[in-house]
Amino acid sequence: MSAIRPRLPVAALAVVAGGVAAALHIGKLPPAVTALQASLGIGLVQAGFLLSLVQVAGMVLGLAVGLAADAIGLRRSMLAGLLLLSFASAAGGGVGLWVADPGTAFAWLLALRALEGLGFLLAVMPGPGLIRSVAAHGSDKTVMGLWGSYMPLGVALALLLGPAVIARVGWPGWWLALAATSAVAAAWVALAVPADRMRGGAPVAGAEAWSARLGATLRAPGPRTLALAFAVYAAQWIAVIGFLPTIYADAGVPVGWSAALTALAAATNIVGNVTGGRLLQRGVAPVRLLRWGFIVMALASLAAFVRVGGPDAAWSLPPALRHVAICVFSLAGGVVPATLFMLGVRLAPGGSTVSTTIGLMQQASSLGQFLAPPAVGWLAHRLGGWQWTWALTLGCSLVGLAMAARLRAHPALGRTAA
C-alpha cells in the first residue's frame, strides 16, 4: 500500500507567499530603470544605488534583524516586514505621482528603498523558523524547498510582469501594485499563521537574552559554515543571472528575447529549489545534494563561458546550448539554498536562535551578492569579454565543496549527512 503524501498546511503556504511578496520588491527595480531615467533624469550610477541598497541593508543588518526576529516573535516579524514593505512601496508610488522636483523625488526614493531593505529582512528572516513550527510532520522538507524558491520566484515574476504593468500605469503604479501585494500577503499570514507563543509577556523564542543568542550562534561551527556556503552560492548565481541581459546584448540578442531568456534562467532556479526539498523529503543526504549542486554549477558555467584562445576564439558552444548550460547552472544551484535553509534550522544552536542563524546566512549572502557582480564586471572589462566568468564561479564552487566537506563531519548530522 502506497504511503500517504503529507498535505502542505495553509499556514506554511502563507509563509512562502509572504517571502515571494517580499522578493517582488527586490526584483521590481530592473524593469523600471528605463522609466525612472525618463521621468527623473537619473543616470546609471544613481540607478545602481537604488538597485544595490537592499543588498547593503542585508550586508549590514542581516544578523541584527535575525536577532530582532527571534526577540519579537517570528510571526510578528514577518507581519512587520510585509507591512513596512507595503508602506514604503506605497510612499514611493506617491513620490512618483506628487513630487515634481526630480532631485527631491530621487532622494525620497533612496530613503524609502532603505526602508524596503529593512522590511525585506524582517519579512524573510523568520521564514524557516515559522515553517518548522507550522509544517505538518513529514512535509517540512518539502515546504523548506518551496521556501528556498521565494527569491528566484519573486524576481522572475517581477521581471515578467513589471514591463507590462509599467507600460500601462507607469512606474508609480508598479510601486503601488506591489504595495497592495505585500498588504494582501500580510493579511494571509495574519489569518493563517498561529500567533507567537508567549512566556512572561515575551515570545518564547526571544526569552533568552540577545547577547546569549548572538554568542551561541557565532561560536557554533554549523552556522558559520552554512553562512560561507550561502555566500559563495549567492555570489556566483547573482553574478551570472544579473549580467545575463548585458551578456545577451553584447551577443546581439534582441531586448525582448533577452528579458524572456533571463527570466527563464532565473525561473529554473525555482525548479531546483522545489526538487531539492522533495529529494530531502525522500531521504537524500543534504551534504550529497550540496556537493552535486556545486559540482554541476561549476561544470555548467564552464560550458557556458569558457572559450579556447580568448574572446575572439572560434570554439565555444552554440548560443542555444550556452543558454541551456546557464539554465542547468541555475537549476542545479537551486538545490543549494533549499538544503542550506533546512540545515539552518537543524544546526542552529537552539530553538531561540533559528532566525539569528538565518540572519547570519542572509548577511553572508548579501555580502556575496554585493561583491561578486563588480568582480565579474571588472574581469569582463579587463579581459575584453565574459569568457573568464567561469573562473569566479569555479572558485565559489570549490569553496562550497569545502564547506560541504566540513558539514559532513558535523556531529548533529551524523551518518545521514553524506
Domain of residue 115, CATH code: 1.20.1250.20
Nearest to 285 by CA among 414, 145, 402, 411: 414
If asked whether residues 182 and 282 sit together in one domain, one would say no
Instruction: Give the pLDDT of residue 310.
Output: 54
If asked whether residues 194 and 330 sit together in one domain, one would say no
The stretch 224-232 carries a mean pLDDT of: 94
Instruction: Give the pLDDT of residue 188.
Output: 96
- Locus of grid cell 514593505: 85
If asked whether residues 336 and 191 sit together in one domain, one would say no
Nearest to 354 by CA among 175, 172, 133, 47: 133
Q: In the listed set 158, 174, 207, which residue is the last one of a domain according to the structure?
A: 207
CA distance linking residue 214 with residue 177, whole number of Å: 37
If asked whether residues 203 and 239 sit together in one domain, one would say no
Q: Which three cell numbers stand for residue 210?
A: 540577545
If asked whether residues 230 and 350 sit together in one domain, one would say yes
- Locus of grid cell 543549494: 336
pLDDT one-digit tens code per residue, 33-92: 778 888 888 776 677 677 777 777 788 878 788 778 777 888 999 999 999 999 999 999
Burial classification of residue 383, based on how many CB atoms lie within 10 Å of its CB (0-12 exposed, 13-18 middle, 19 or more buried): middle
Percent of the chain scoring above 90 in pLDDT: 30
Half-sphere exposure of 130 (CA within 13 A, CB side): 34
Helix, strand or coil, per DSSP, at residue 378 = helix
Q: Higher confidence at residue 295 or residue 256?
A: 295
Residue-range definition of the domain harbouring residue 142: 1-207
Q: In the listed set 172, 190, 207, which residue is the last one of a domain according to the structure?
A: 207
CA distance linking residue 270 with residue 245, whole number of Å: 19
Percent of the chain scoring above 70 in pLDDT: 88
Largest CA distance in the chain: 71
Count of domains forming the chain = 2
If asked whether residues 51 and 98 sit together in one domain, one would say yes
If asked whether residues 94 and 218 sit together in one domain, one would say no
What pTM was estimated for this model as a whole? 0.77
Contact 136, 2 (CB under 8 A): no
If asked whether residues 191 and 275 sit together in one domain, one would say no
If asked whether residues 142 and 16 sit together in one domain, one would say yes
If asked whether residues 364 and 291 sit together in one domain, one would say yes
If asked whether residues 363 and 384 sit together in one domain, one would say yes
pLDDT one-digit tens code per residue, 79-128: 999 999 999 999 999 998 888 888 888 889 989 988 998 999 899 888 88
pLDDT one-digit tens code per residue, 306-358: 876 655 555 577 888 888 999 999 999 999 998 998 898 888 887 777 778 88
CA distance linking residue 193 with residue 187, whole number of Å: 10
Q: In the listed set 207, 232, 258, which residue is the last one of a domain according to the structure?
A: 207
If asked whether residues 160 and 223 sit together in one domain, one would say no
Contact 334, 148 (CB under 8 A): yes
Local confidence band at 395 (pLDDT 50, 70, 90 cut-offs)? very high
